[in-house]
Amino acid sequence: MKRIYMDHSATTPVAPEVLQAMLPYLSDKFGNASSLHSFGLEAKEALEESREKVAKLLAASSEEIIFTSGGTESDNLALKGIARRNKDKGKHIITTNVEHPAILETCRKLEKEGFAVTYLPVTSEGLVDLAVLEAAIRPDTILISVMHANNEIGTIQPLEEIGRLAAERDIYLHTDAVQSVGKIPTDVNALGVDLLSLSAHKLYGPKGVGALYIRRGTKLESIVQGGGHERGLRSGTENVAGIVGLAKAAELCCEGMAVEGQRLTKLRDQLASLVLGKVKEAWINGTMKGRLPGSLNFGFKYVEGESLLLFLDSKGIAVSTGSACSSHKLQPSHVLLSLGLQPEECHGSLRITMGRSNTTEEVDYVAECIVEAVERFRGISALGRK
Ligand SMILES: *Cc1c(COP(=O)(O)O)cnc(C)c1O
For residue 178, how far is its CA from the centre of ligand 1 (angstroms)?
6
For residue 88, how far is its CA from the centre of ligand 1 (angstroms)?
30
137-171 confidence digits (pLDDT tens): 999 999 999 999 999 999 999 999 999 999 999 99
Residue 145 Cβ < 6 Å to ligand 1? no
Residue 72 Cβ < 6 Å to ligand 1? yes
pLDDT of residue 331: 80
Residue 199 Cβ < 6 Å to ligand 1? yes
The mean predicted confidence, pLDDT, of the chain is: 95
259-273 confidence digits (pLDDT tens): 999 999 999 999 999
42-94 confidence digits (pLDDT tens): 999 999 999 999 999 999 999 999 999 999 999 999 999 999 999 999 999 99
Averaged pLDDT, 343-370 = 95
Whether 334 has a pLDDT exceeding 70, the answer reads yes
For residue 105, how far is its CA from the centre of ligand 1 (angstroms)?
13
218-245 confidence digits (pLDDT tens): 999 999 999 999 999 999 999 999 999 9
Residues classed as catalytic: 325
Specify the ligand 1 atom closest to the Cα of 72: 9
Measured by CA distance, the residue closest to atom 3 of ligand 1 is 71
Domains and CATH numbers, the chain: 4-11+257-379 (3.90.1150.10), 16-252 (3.40.640.10)
Reported as a pLDDT band with limits 50, 70 and 90, residue 343 is confident
pLDDT of residue 345: 87
Residue 212 Cβ < 6 Å to ligand 1? no
- When mean pLDDT is compared across 119-133, 236-250, 322-336, the lowest value belongs to 322-336
pLDDT of residue 381: 65
For residue 122, how far is its CA from the centre of ligand 1 (angstroms)?
20
Residue 176 Cβ < 6 Å to ligand 1? yes
pLDDT of residue 1: 85
pLDDT of residue 386: 44
290-328 confidence digits (pLDDT tens): 999 999 999 999 999 999 999 999 999 999 986 444 555
Reported as a pLDDT band with limits 50, 70 and 90, residue 344 is confident
For residue 87, how far is its CA from the centre of ligand 1 (angstroms)?
26
For residue 282, how far is its CA from the centre of ligand 1 (angstroms)?
28
Residue 180 Cβ < 6 Å to ligand 1? no
pLDDT of residue 286: 96
Q: Which residue has the higher pLDDT, 178 or 333?
A: 178
pLDDT of residue 322: 66
Measured by CA distance, the residue closest to atom 6 of ligand 1 is 71
Specify the ligand 1 atom closest to the Cα of 208: 7
Measured by CA distance, the residue closest to atom 8 of ligand 1 is 71
Residue 147 Cβ < 6 Å to ligand 1? yes
Residue 179 Cβ < 6 Å to ligand 1? yes
Measured by CA distance, the residue closest to atom 14 of ligand 1 is 178
pLDDT of residue 383: 56
Q: Which of 9, 147, 178, 203 for a ligand 1 pocket mutation test, highest count of atoms within 8 Å of Cβ?
A: 178
355-368 confidence digits (pLDDT tens): 999 999 999 999 99
Residue 151 Cβ < 6 Å to ligand 1? yes
pLDDT of residue 332: 85
Averaged pLDDT, 88-114 = 98
Measured by CA distance, the residue closest to atom 15 of ligand 1 is 151
Q: Within the chain, what is the greatest distance between any pair of CA atoms?
A: 75
